[in-house]
Amino acid sequence: MTKSLVLEETFDREVIRHCHLRNGENWRGPLALEVYADREAYLATASNANIPRRLETQELSGLHYWVLRDKSLKCGSDDNPKTYNVVAACESYFRDWWRVDYDAETGAAQTKVVSSPCVGGVYTLPAFRGKGLATFMISELNRHFGQMSDPDSFATLYSEVGEYYSRFGYESSYVPKFELQVQDIDLELPEAEWHPAGEMAGLAKTYSSRLLSHIQARTLETRTTTVALIPSQAVYDWHHLRSVFYAERLHNLKPGNFAVSINKDSETVGFAVFTVDYLESSIFVISFFAESSKVGHQLIQLLFQEANRVGFKKIQGWVSDVVNYNFVPDLDFQKELSEKYMSNFEVENHSLSALWPISGKGPINWEDNGKLAWF
């Protein structure tokens, strides 16, 4: 059967929507199928989805849509000639990452930027399941990545099916989530700056400079290759577009705040970037940075303040996103949060992070493995 299978990239909007209307049965959650497909089309308008420019230049960065076709299928009189032989599909999202390697000869950390794909939306039509199509598709996708990408690149994904992708070379790294119930404000809060969507560039710059210093130090400490997604306005935009879509399409609301920062002597000493999750009725943290436990507690209560403003009762995020000045999970701070707010730092995360070195050479340490890099 594999002789008749072909994995190809498509830019055709009709084919892409066809696939979203099919995989929506798995991924739409409480959304109506058409609304889910509309949301996916809306996300494709993100600046770093890059689709219009890729059509002209074949630039690697951005969203790539893949369809698996079975060329042995015949097109019936009632079939769509564009989609009748599509039996499976997936997507990949190429973004800029740092890769820091240890140079044994010089003892230095060598840093480069690589465009690396994240795989998502893997789906096989029900009538064609149990025939090894997903296995064929991911194997072919890996082959394409090997041809398209820098040898120093790597692929990531977030598995909803456990260790399935380990057979393709992906090594998983489980990160639990946390959840805090919104409580009364009992701290004297500093004057804070609130940021709407599209105004994250300054925070991204602050976060990037410190994150890069951290992963370089980690590489020297462990003598192991370290990678991290480069925070940017465009990366935050992709997350925030979801909230904007839900606010405008489902609730007829004007989108509000998506970040809060605390400054001291013109320096940012802490910030939280978040999404407003209208489906879960929660504030979902995607980047959190505090130079001290005191600032961390102030940020948490500022998030409580925002949650109260929009009528939500909980704050959620990935445990790896609660970090201290050194960009490592701060266990003391987590313990303080657990005791003060009876928060849970062991909430099951159904998205299992995994990474595959395209060259096959490892190990690779994935730092800042949290919601920000999710796709």
Residue ranges of E strands in the chain: 5-10, 62-70, 86-103, 108-124, 154-159, 171-173, 177-181, 192-196, 225-229, 257-264, 267-277, 282-290, 314-318, 322-323, 344-347, 352-357, 364-366
pLDDT tens digits, one per residue of 149-173: 899 999 999 999 999 999 999 999 9
pLDDT tens digits, one per residue of 37-57: 999 999 998 887 876 666 666
Residue written as token pair 């925030």: 240
Q: What DSSP string describes 25-45? A: HHH-TTS-HHHHHHHHHHHTT
In the chain, the domains with their CATH numbers are 2-175+353-373 (3.40.630.30), 178-347 (3.40.630)
Asked if the model's pLDDT at residue 326 lies above 60, the reply is no
For residue 100, which of 212, 206, 232 has the smallest C-alpha distance?
Answer: 212
CB-CB neighbours of 189 under 10 Å: 14
Amino acid residing at 165: Y
Q: For the residues 9-23, what does the mean pLDDT come to?
A: 95
For residue 89, which of 116, 60, 115, 65 has the smallest C-alpha distance?
Answer: 65
The reported pTM is: 0.93
